[in-house]
Amino acid sequence: MDGGIGGADDLRALYGAPSDKAVRKQLARIDTHARNFIALSPFLVLGTSGPDGADCSPRGDAPGFVAVIDEHTLLIPDRLGNNRIDSLTNVSVNPNVGLIFFVPGINETLRVNGKATVTVDQALLAPLAVQERAPRSGLLVKVEQMYFHCAKALIRSKLWDPDTRVERKSFPTLGRILADQIADCDAAESEAFIAESYKTRLY
C-alpha cells in the first residue's frame, strides 16, 4: 500500500487554497483579543522539537498564568514537575515552539508560534510566584505568528460537554499504570507518592 503524498505541492493540490481570511487572520503580535484570551486561559499545550524528535507538553495553572510582557513576548512559568525537562532541553537546542491556549467553555483556541529561550531572571519570575514560590525558570516566547483557531475540532470532540466526560473509575489510575509498565514498581506505593505530590508539590 502506497498512498503517500509526494510533497507540499501535492498536499496543496489535494486540499486547495485556504480562504483569504484564513491567511490574513495571522498576526505577528499579541493583539487585544489574544491578550484577553490568554488572561482567561488556565491551560495550554506546548510543542517543541529536539534531537530526539517532537514533543508536546501540557502547561496549566490559574487563568492568566502566562504573562504577556508586551505584544511580542510571552513568559510561561515552569512549575514543579517530574524533572524530565524535555521541553526546556529541546528549547535549548531548537528555539522553535508552538502553543495552543484553551479556555474552558470556549470552543475556539489561540495558536501562537515563535522562538523561545529559557530564563532564570528573578526580576521576571518573581511576579509569577504562587504560594510565595517563584518558578525556577520560565520560557520567554518571542511571538512570530498568532491566530485564533476555529471551533470545529472542539465541537466535534465535545470537549467541554459534561455529558461526554469519562467516569474516572473506568480507567486505571496512574499508580496502577506505572506498576504495569515498570518492573518492581508497587502500585500502592506509587499511588501514595502521586497523591502526596498533588497535595504538596504543585509549586
Interacting residues of 96 by C-beta distance below 8 A, sequence separation 6+? 48, 49, 113, 114, 115, 116
pLDDT at site 5: 81
137-149 sheet: strands from edge to edge: 53-60, 43-50, 96-103, 106-119, 137-149, 73-78, 67-70
Q: What Å distances lie between residue 156 and 22, 147, 161, 181, CA to CA? A: 20, 20, 11, 32
Tell me how crowded residue 193 is: count the other CB atoms within 10 A of its CB. Answer: 14
Rounded to the nearest 10 degrees, what angle do helices 187-200 and 174-181 cross at? 130
Q: Encode the chain (203 residues) as per-residue pLDDT tens digits.
A: 567 887 899 999 999 999 999 999 999 999 999 999 999 999 999 999 999 999 999 999 999 999 999 999 999 999 999 999 999 999 999 999 999 999 999 999 999 999 999 999 999 999 999 999 999 999 999 999 999 999 999 999 999 999 999 999 999 999 999 999 999 999 999 999 999 999 999 99
Say what the pLDDT of residue 42 is.
98
**30: Cβ–Cβ under 8 A, 6 or more apart, which residues?**
38, 68, 70, 71, 72, 74, 112, 143, 146
Nearest C-alpha neighbor of 107 from the set 143, 74, 155, 66 = 155
pLDDT at 3: 73
Rounded CA-CA distance 124/91 in Å is 19
Cα–Cα distance between 107 and 97 in angstroms, integer? 23
Q: Where are the domains of the chain?
A: 19-160, 166-203
For the entire predicted model, the pTM comes to 0.94
CA distances from 88 to 55, 136, 174 (A): 11, 12, 24
Q: What is the pLDDT of residue 38?
A: 98
Assess if CATH 2.30.110.10 describes domain 19-160. yes
Which of 54, 24, 36 lies closest to 108, judged by CA?
Answer: 36
Question: What is the pLDDT at residue 1?
Answer: 53
* pLDDT given at position 95: 98
